Amino acid sequence: MLHFQLQISSFKDYVQLYKLEDDTEIVYDKSGDRWEVAMTVSDGQFKQVSFVNSIATPKGGTHVAHVADQLVEAITRRVNSKNKGGMDIKPYHVRNYLWLFVNCQIENPTFDSQTKETMTLKAAKFGSKCDISEAMITKVLKTGIVDMVLQWAKAKESIDLSKTMKGVSGPPNKKTKRLLNIPKLEDANLAGGRDGRECTLILTEGDSAKTLAVAGLSVIGRDKYGVFPLRGKLLNVRDATFAQTMDNAEIANIVKILGIEPKKEYHSCNSMRYGHVMIMTDQDYDGSHIKGLILNMVQFWWPSLFRMPGFMQEFVTPIVKVSRRSVVQTFFTLQEYDKWKEENNNGRGWHLKYYKGLGTSTTAEAKEYFSHLEDHSLSFDYTGDGDDENMDMAFNKKRADDRKEWINASNDEEFVDHSKDAVTYTDFVQKELVQFAKYDVIRAVPSVVDGFKPVQRKIMWSAFRRNLKSDMKVAQFAGYVSEHSAYHHGETSLQGAIIGLAQNFVGSNNVALLVPSGQFGTRLQGGKDAASSRYIYTRLEKIARLIFHPHDDPLLEYQLEEGQQIEPRWFMPTLPMLLLNGAEGIGTGWSTSLPNYHPREVIANLKRFLRCEPVQEMCPWYAGFKGSLVLSCDKVGYDVIGVIEKRGPTTLEITELPVKKWTQDYKEAVLQAMLSTDGPGSGQIEDFKEYHTEASVHFVVTVTEAQMAAHEYIGLLQSFRLRGSISTNNLMFFDKDGKIKRYQDERQILEEFAELRLEYYHKRKANLVKTLRQQAEILRAKARFVQEVMDEKLKVKNRKKDVLIEDLRKHGFKTLREITGGADVDIDGLPQGKAGGWEYLLGMPLWSLTAERVADLQAQLKTKEAELEQLECTAPEELWDADLDAILAELSQLETRVKVAASEERIAQKRAAQGLAQSLAKHSRTGSASGGGLPSGAPPATGAPSGQVLAEMQARQLKQTVAEFPGLFDDLLPVKSAPPPGLEKVRGAGEDDETATPRAKSALTLGGFARKKLSAVRAKAKAKGKAKAKGKRK
């Protein structure tokens, strides 16, 4: 028998014997006197070699798990950080690549059997603990295990993706003739057969477009054409996570319909079910985006198909059609139509029809399109690496700066020429897709002039147009906005924008422009708890027309769309609304964020501007917020701090949260996560109660003394996450010229607005002076006309129209159009815009031809001339200052209404608290009499505040309310009666806590002696009273 002696002297030497190759790296570490650990990479299956008190444990056990869990956690954390967007790596995935060596000394170990192959003792009873050092973890992460797990994850992702989106159900390269269980697919008859490469799949934008395509197929047949509708916009696969891609059923369906496999290289379409893909979307900006997303998917996953000539195509339909007699012209882009209008007298004399979407086209038009398919289809041509670069630039989220340059460099007059047979990918990106990108930014980033995004501007213009002074359902108002302002998007988003303009809870609007009549959302859920738009009403706030003054309406530049006048490019408010209500938005390449500011501070700065004084820096302010806003250390933003107070050794009270941190979210994400789960003291807090309303925050948190000490050591604000931040470093807005611009701070925004606003006050004065002069001239002409008719110098009865008009000319009268220059002027008795000739004179009723009417007209003329003289003597700065004063007065009224509502709420809370206290007291007396009450020292019932906490809350609320509104509670609180004799100085017996004269120290003691002494005094007083009563009876 041969014997071998191993040259080892330690566990570390023993581990080295397992080296299979010279480059195998084994990491060794010793943790204390009882633990030795080593690790290397396995071949994909977990392995371990372990000893407990020098006893081999071939099957491991709790000691191996104790070590392995620490390493697996560190490795998993590193792998997931490097696999962002990929599959979620679980601990058992990492464990499979561990080969672990453990040698430990355990006190009184237990095993699963006599063979002692597996240790079963719990880790808490080991007698020691193995803490893996940071040095060992660092070495473990460098062994290559991270890369091995990542390689496995990528391979697993590819396999799972292929299984989920596999386009064939049989062996490779075997096409499926018939596809089942794909909803709404209209498959081509020849798809999946030997002629499948000649088939075209039409991807449509929605079901209505599918109906249009199916109607068109009746012309060209369904053998070689299939139709599949898309639900909205496709996923951007370039930056999508693995989970997003796996869960996207629509992409999976497209892959199956085409009969292709993810990320496979294709040199021909012979193995595919379809040989062409035709995109059929609306001709608007969103339609261009959908085209881009489909092309992006093909370019990213199947570059070979992206480059294949004729594989990608688009179906184009007109966006505008004009006709006159038998002449019909169609336009596929708005740029083409605008250019045609300039050359054809703005389209006058032509019948105009806008095609908002594919659903606008009739069945007959669909058949017409498909009967001339060559005129309505374009192929995408690949011209080189530049096409790939443009697609990556447009859809790679990491290239936001490149997209900014792309948008700024675009030319609005360029458009895709649809008269050609093909368009390059580069031309599509640079001429068509860029228009969507610009429009997306316009929708997301407000204007610095009026602070509105386009949808908000449409809403306010519609409200002014309708003179919305009485309540109207939000759903009904949304329909009005959509009809009159050419709104082209979903009604849900429009209704949400209307609700947003009316919200007034903390963190929303400082100055709401619409009245929230109903449940418009609260700070409990940040407005998400708003009622359905079918059940809530709104109308204009009075202050809205003070900020957006009607005198500025004639000065605005109104837009034209679909042949009708819609909202202006921007309104010209009296105040910079951008500063009052703030702004947030994210668009293509740009985002913006601006906090709210105090209206009074903004007005004060505007008054300084009018007086040529320097504008002062302003601090963000949110109406109703009771916390603090402090300039951050980096001075590029503000720290937003909530309110938390210590009310006792084990009680904390939270009465305010940071701005935009909503009550429900805070409760679920913070307080519930801090609760004790494994018995008293195991969490960060023991319990919390909620006393807040829809407008206020009020948590009462209960902790142990140890937990209180830990929170105070960390800091209550930090421990309870009551510190947020507001950035003022991303102030991107559109300026007055429609160019996006970065602003340094709120003062630059205010000064730029003020300069433009003052310029418009000069324009307003000039327009008002002009209007008053025209109105005076009209009154003068009407008075003279009536007088001359009365004096019989001018005869109007029984005369021909032409003769009468000639006579009016001879007497020096002018038509209304000649007086006003074609502008609309308010005239009594005539509809605005309906009178341009002699109607203002000849349209007067017969009863106007009286001396009293002449005197009335002359009085009106005198008043108008006085008004004109006063206006001419008023500087534009004075007009602005007067408007600011009117807004301040209305703000004061709004603040008063808010305070009154708050006081009424506090009164209601106080009454409810008094009722609760009386009920508890009654219950306590009843329980004592029946013997069924709570035992002495028992804790209060769960959900109700203790008497001490309740009394403190009531006292604080009462003190604050009485200070704000003296005498408010005089008619509600009962008059306190005088205390019984002998108890005048007892605390609380007839005097408030703060004014009561303190008793002697011994009488205030809470021990038994004080209680006995007080009982004796009362008994003595009672006996004395009885004796007196008895003497009187005798």
Asked whether the predicted pLDDT for residue 488 surpasses 70, the reply is yes
Asked whether the predicted pLDDT for residue 870 surpasses 80, the reply is yes
Instruction: Specify the length of the chain in residues.
Output: 1034
Would you state the pLDDT for residue 653? 95
Amino acid at 780: R
In three state form, how does the secondary structure of 85-129 look?
Answer: CCCCCCHHHHHCCEEEEEEECCCCCCECCCCCCCECCCHHHCCCC
Would you state the pLDDT for residue 926? 57
Asked whether the predicted pLDDT for residue 1002 surpasses 50, the reply is no
**Rounded to 5 degrees, what are φ and ψ at 2?**
-90, 140
Confidence of residue 948 (pLDDT cuts 50, 70, 90): low
Q: What is the pLDDT of residues 135-155, one digit of tens each?
A: 999 999 988 898 888 888 888
Burial (0-12, 13-18, 19+ Cβ within 10 Å), 736: middle
Q: What is the pLDDT of residues 788-799, one digit of tens each?
A: 888 888 888 888
Asked whether the predicted pLDDT for residue 984 surpasses 50, the reply is no
Q: What is the pLDDT of residues 342-352, one digit of tens each?
A: 888 777 788 88
Instruction: Residue 390: name the closest of 299, 315, 262 by CA.
Output: 299
Over residues 223-241, mean pLDDT: 88
Q: What is the pLDDT of residues 160-204, one digit of tens each?
A: 766 666 544 444 445 667 777 788 999 999 998 888 899 999 999
How far apart CA 618 and CA 554 sit, in angstroms, is: 33
SS3 545: helix
Q: Where are the beta strands (DSSP E) in 173-252?
A: 200-205, 225-230
SS3 355: coil
Question: Do 254 and 178 contact (CB within 8 A), yes or no?
Answer: no
Of the listed 355, 535, 597, 713, which one is catalytic? 535
How far, CA to CA in Å, does 181 sit from each of 223, 259, 309, 522? Answer: 20, 15, 31, 44
What is the dihedral angle through the alpha carbons of 204, 208, 214, 219, rounded to the nearest 10 degrees?
Answer: -100
Poorest-confidence range of 544-548, 665-669, 933-937? 933-937
Q: Is 285 a catalytic residue?
A: no
Asked whether the predicted pLDDT for residue 39 surpasses 50, the reply is yes
Residue 907, H or E segment = helix 876-930
Give me the sheet containing 723-727, strands edge to edge: 628-631, 637-641, 723-727
